[in-house]
Amino acid sequence: MQLTLIDWIVIALYFIFNLGVGLYLRKRATQSVSDFFVSGRNVTWWLAGTSMVATTFAADTPLVVSGLVARNGIAGNWIWWSMAFSGMLTVFFYAKLWRRAGVLTDVEFAEIRYSGKPAAFLRTFRAVYLGLPINLIIMGWVNLAIVKIMMLVLGINKFEALIIAIGIMFITASISTLSGLWGVLWTDMFQFLLKMGMVIVLAIFAINATGGMGMLLEKLHAIDQTRESSSSILSLVPDLNSAWMPIITFLVYIAVNWWASWYPGSEPGGGGYVAQRIFCAKNEKHSLLATLWFNIAHYALRPWPWILVALVAVVRFQQDARFIADPETGYIRILISDLPAYLRGLMLAAFAAAYMSTIGTQLNWGASYIVNDVYKRYFPERPEKHYVNFSQIITMALMILSAIVTFYMDSIGGAWQFLMAIGAGTGLVYILRWFWWRINAWSEISALIGAFFVSFILQYGFNLNESDPKQFAYLLLGTTLLTTTVWVTVTLLTKPEPEEKLLAFYRKVRPNARFWGQIAQKATDVVPVHDGLFSIGNWVCGVAMIYSFLFGIGKIILGSVLVGSLLTGLGCILGGIIYYQMNKKGWETLGE
């Protein structure tokens, strides 16, 4: 793809603007570690929520969606649409609890919930584990995605593309180093508006180049006649007799996977950079609204421009051997062929924005673990400026290490499968640790160890292949069952946490009193909270609202205006019910 001088000027202005934001916010963000990592806990819901949306819109996201649609139709997205159950659980159950906890990172939770050496080990281990190997793998695949995009768009080799990626990452790291989370949040806002606007523009040009929406649908219906599957490529629900989504796999996705598996950005009970945005919110009300806005935008609003371009790619390249071999490249090929020359610079800036928003978060998030949960814990009572300076050094070090990981990484899918494997089965302990007083530090430690070994034994000892849909279902069910058996047994065989530790946690976080038994009874100074049914009702309405909006918008775009309007209207009604319920019973308990 040929770039003009105007394109390069646009790209240069984009980077200059982002650096300007970092410089402008530098003084505000470097006064303390709290300012650097959680923006002084003074962020509004719309900024925190939009930052979550921007972070999960990486450079590889449109490509992955294109591959899912090309292989399995629109319904292929159920692989990640099913995680809406977990997202809404965070909104109504955990956002307020995380904000009350007052921690700087989610792994710091270990030492406000548990006590002694097991708690210290758990906190340190998870900080190093998440901050280095896991974080570097995530950044490695994000880097690899932008490298592949650069190779295809600019016609260069992997090493040359990696050099460009390092340059972009250096600018991102500089912004994060200069202005901490404040810089990440405000550049996320700008980057989200840019990249969302450009993917919508690309979808419009791609559809027009195909002859309009009517012609696109006509060609897709013709392709349906040649497909082996009995389900249409336009179907929003998978064919449960298909090879890629048999009924057992679909049931595992919607009934087990979302609460059983730990995965970055979709942690059961909240966690990672989602929790970091919750910590930085002004109060509990803003933390709930931030996560609610994130889930609506993430699942219901954002996917359709990607899906439309993917459908155009299916029509355009259905007989192309290169597309058949690697359908994820279809998105970039449509960009090259259909986007007018005068918009190419903006589009590349949008891809840079998608890349930078994710990398910026990962750098700041990873550094927060190393500094707050390792260095600061073992080297206390240093000046705040010292910790801020060390945070900046760690941020740059993570950038360099991630580039090395990218150079030796060949498969995004392979890295994704690795993380899924070692995270399966741990989710339930992360969900219940807030509500069941009997869970202790050994519960979490045994869950981590158990999930790792059980998953690998099932994969390599019993040859269960995660890439095979049915075997994935058996792998997840087996790992979840055995891991849960391990950590529950360990919990019951080990001593509970000391009563004074449990009382301090209960008073600080004020979880639902029902499962805290004698602890809740002894904390007579705390008004007991019994919001279980209230939160469950809002969760059910929230999940239904997400899918109503998702399918309603899709139906309208695909020509079924009446059905789509009814579904969208239902989503509005459900949203109104949630607002009424929270306004009547909940907001007063969440802060002003």
Helix (H, G, I), strand (E, B) or coil at 337: helix
- Residue 338 CA to residue 135 CA, distance in Å, equals 35
Backbone angles phi, psi at 261, to 5 degrees: -110, 135
261 strand-pairing partners: 424
Handedness of CA 364, 302, 327, 228 (dihedral sign): positive
Tens digits of residue pLDDT in 180-203: 888 888 888 998 999 999 999 999
pLDDT of 591: 43
Place of tokens 């000892």: 461
Q: Does pLDDT of 536 surpass 90? A: yes
The better pLDDT of the pair 563, 351 is held by 563
- Residue 361 CA to residue 180 CA, distance in Å, equals 9
How much is the mean pLDDT over the chain?
Answer: 87
The better pLDDT of the pair 174, 588 is held by 174
Q: Does pLDDT of 548 surpass 50? A: yes
| Confidence band for 586, pLDDT divided at 50, 70 and 90 | low
39: left (phi over 0), alpha (psi -120 to 50) or beta: left
- Residue 200 CA to residue 561 CA, distance in Å, equals 20
In percent, the amount of the chain with pLDDT more than 90 equals 43
Q: Does pLDDT of 8 surpass 50? A: yes
Q: Which domains does the chain have, with CATH numbers?
A: 5-423 (1.20.1730.10)
Cα torsion through 513, 515, 516, 518, rounded to 10: 110
The three-point CA angle 61-65-70 to 5° equals 150
- Residue 523 CA to residue 72 CA, distance in Å, equals 54
pLDDT of 213: 94
Place of tokens 């497909």: 227
Contact 402, 169 (CB under 8 A): yes
Going from the C-alpha of 403 to that of each of 140, 368, 393, 416, the distances in angstroms are 7, 20, 16, 18
Q: Per-residue pLDDT averaged across 244-256, rounded?
A: 90
Backbone angles phi, psi at 529, to 5 degrees: -100, 130
Tens digits of residue pLDDT in 39-92: 788 899 999 999 999 988 887 788 889 989 998 899 999 989 999 999 999 999
Backbone angles phi, psi at 241, to 5 degrees: -105, 5
Number of residues that this document lists for the chain: 592
Q: Which letter does DSSP use for residue 496 in this model?
A: P
Helix (H, G, I), strand (E, B) or coil at 6: helix
Q: Does pLDDT of 567 surpass 90? A: yes
| Confidence band for 592, pLDDT divided at 50, 70 and 90 | very low
Q: Which letter does DSSP use for residue 343 in this model?
A: G
Q: Which helix (H) or strand (E) holds 109?
A: none
Amino acid at 573: I
pTM for the whole structure: 0.89
Tens digits of residue pLDDT in 115-141: 999 999 999 999 998 888 888 888 887
